[in-house]
Structure 1
Amino acid sequence: METRKIQLTGGSTFTVSLPKQWAKEHGLESGARMYLYPHSDGSLLVRPSPTQNGKRESRVSVDHLDEDDISRTVRAFYAAGFDSFTLTAVGGFEVSQRNAVTMAASGLVGLEIVSESDDVITLQSLLNTNDVSIRQTVIQLQRITLAMHERAVTAVIEDDEELAARVCERDDEVDRLFGMVSRHYQRALSDLQEIDQLGIDRPTIADYYTIARQLERVADHAEKIATISSRLDDPPQSIMEEIGAVAREARATVKDASSVLLGGTDIEMAYRALDDRDNLGDDLDQLDRRLYDSEIPDRYLLGLLLDSVRRTSEYGGNIAETLIQGAARNRELSTR
């Protein structure tokens, strides 16, 4: 890092000199035009050439990829923040490959196929960053995820296969929302204009991304719990009630921790969430040992349920730790 003093030139203009080595590396000399991009976080980007209005485009051949890998490629380019990208297949797209592109695009917010031929498919994001609220997206993600988890546990306790199926269907919605958060987070890492348009700073969007990632994992475990419901063979009601109780505590850990950022509650809530996670861990250990020592036929499946409950609580703890670190960071900045 280098420092420069601001100079007053001509009585009305502030000037700052450029590092000589940097200027030489970029072929700059006296009279060269520089491009300045001021941003709301107080930074000033200086470039020897203009940006391309933040537009990111790419082209990739997918001839050698199967349907699953084509889907992964579409999701990767979307998450990486490309405005548009083109897939090519020299020998032409097979029907299954074309369907894979269509299905992948339909699972991502704002991504559309804008043109296609036998051997070329171009996709474009129609999202307007100015219309996106990362905060509201993560709040929606939290509500859906916790509802999925609660209903999945209810489906297990009440042996409700129809409810379990509805829980699994909502996982795609969670993936769509998380994909959008991930996309804007990735774009914000390399584009200051993205941050300005979103109206938040980089540390905050990183916190939102972390919460969204943990919530997406909670949703995955909700789906896992729901799929177990059809495999259980009338386990003891007393055990199921205990599992329902610890599951409620696990969800409360996630809700309390995420409310520090999403609900504006005091940071002390994050510390309490960590304590609750630790206490719940002890309760889960005891219940797990009792299951292991029991003669219940489905104790293995019940053990899987407890593992998903434990993971849910741990994800809440991850959120709490992230927000405690953020609070420490903010205190440091406030003392400068």
Structure 2
Amino acid sequence: MAIKRKVQLTGRSTYTLSLPRDWIDRLKIEQGDELSILELEDGNLLISKEELTVSREKEVVIDLDEIEDEDLLEKIIISKYLAGYSKTTIRSNKEIPSRISKIVSSIVNNLIGSEIISEGLNHIEIRDLAIHGEFPIDKAVRRAHLIARNMQKIAIESFINSDSDNVSDVFEREDSVDRLYFLIRREITSALENPTILKELNMNSREVLYVYPVAKSLEKIADHSESIAQACLDLQGKKVDKKIGEYLLNYSKEAMEIHTQAILSFLGKRRDLAVKALNVFDALNQKLEDGTLNRERVSDIDVEIQIQFVERNLDRICGYGMDIAEMAIDRIH
């Protein structure tokens, strides 16, 4: 329940505000104690007994002896990174096998800002050395989109030309998108927990909540682009008809235009670009429905299956582009 207090003028220039007695008693605040006051981006003030300008280090210990599955270990390490822990220690009552150490090292290499700073026979210490706000969230979103967009371009061209040589590049880039996605999620979590970090990111709490679904959509676009690259390998050298190649290329270009305009709208806070993305989506659907953009079925069932698989992935990429456009509109209003 909100409590109202009148501002009092003491002397000629000092304004005072009385604090609720139950709050004082609950936090055991006494006369002479110092309180921290932080002005939030929306102009509100945050009053705390704790120091607001300094982030307290979050530490966690993972008991390796309780984890038998290596995939579970990876999920736990990543979850601690996303939760904003600055120090994660993996401990065991036995000597940690070199195989596990290599797995942990590989996981940490995919987490931006994390490093293994200490390693012994029965412990591994991971530190988050990144400085909040050093890599702005908007910049991370822009970078993730650029990589995902290039992945889609390479994947569809590789499929059309049955060129498996460039497919490995798509798989490698997908890891880069994952790293950026994890970084964005961690920054969001830390910002919502600590108003000081929120201020360092130069965003308000409302804006931060819109960033996560956008980052997730970009991660999904990268995943679907990776799936298209995998379809190229599954063709096993079989060629796609030229007309079908042109059809898929045009389909992909339209899908790319949707999420490109949507991201530009989100980052630039431009509603007109979000509307443009929506219009491209509607026009694409109309072309698919009236046959303006279509193809003939392929007699080779194996090739037909892969083409349909690519179509489904392009359809999902369009959907995620629409999700970003909707987030852009919500962020602006």
TM-score normalised according to structure 1 size: 0.89
The 2-side partners of 1:186 and 1:258 are apart by 22
Q: Which residue of 2 aligns with 1:19?
A: 20
Matching residue within 56, 64, 67 for 2:66? 64
- Helix, strand or coil for the counterpart of 1:63? helix
Shift of 1:275: 2.8
Which stretches in structure 2 are left out of the alignment for 5+ residues? none
**Contact 1:89–1:119 under 8 Å retained in 2:** yes
State the match for 2:139 in structure 1.
136
Question: How far apart are 1:304 and its partner, in Å?
Answer: 1.1
SS of 1:223's equivalent?
helix
Residues of 2 paired with 1:276 and 1:266: CA distance?
16
Alignment of 1:157-306 (within 5 A): 157-232=160-235, 233-262=238-267, 264=268, 266-284=270-288, 295-297=299-301, 298-306=303-311
Q: CA deviation at 1:296?
A: 4.2
Q: Deviation above 4 Å: which 4+ runs of structure 1?
A: 29-32, 282-287, 289-294
Deviations 1:134-159 (A, max 9, x none): 22222111111101101100000011
Identity rate, percent: 27
Q: CA deviation at 1:203?
A: 2.7
Q: What is the identity, as a one-letter code, of the residue corresponding to 1:88?
A: R
Residue 37 of structure 2 aligns with which residue? 36
Q: Distance in 1 between matches of 2:73 and 2:20?
A: 45
Number of aligned residues: 326
Give 1:88 deviation, angstroms. 1.3
1:118 & 1:207 partners in 2: Cα distance?
Answer: 43
Identify the residue that residue 122 of structure 1 maps to in structure 2.
Answer: 125
C-alpha separation between the residues in 1 aligned to 2:4 and 2:281? 46
> Does structure 1 retain, via aligned residues, the 8 Å contact 2:269–2:328?
no
Aligned residue for 1:27, secondary structure, equals coil
SS of the counterpart of 2:19? coil
Q: Evaluate the alpha carbon distance shift between residue 293 and residue 160 of structure 1 in structure 2; reply closer, same or farther with a 3 A threshold.
A: closer
Shift of 1:284: 4.6
Cα drift, residue 272 of structure 1: 2.4
Structure 2 length normalisation: TM-score? 0.89
Q: How far apart are 1:120 and its partner, in Å?
A: 1.5
Amino acid at match of 1:114: I
Could you report, residue by residue, the CA deviation over 1:17-39 in whole angstroms, capped at 9, with x for unpaired residues?
Answer: 22233333223355544332334
SS at match of 1:18: coil
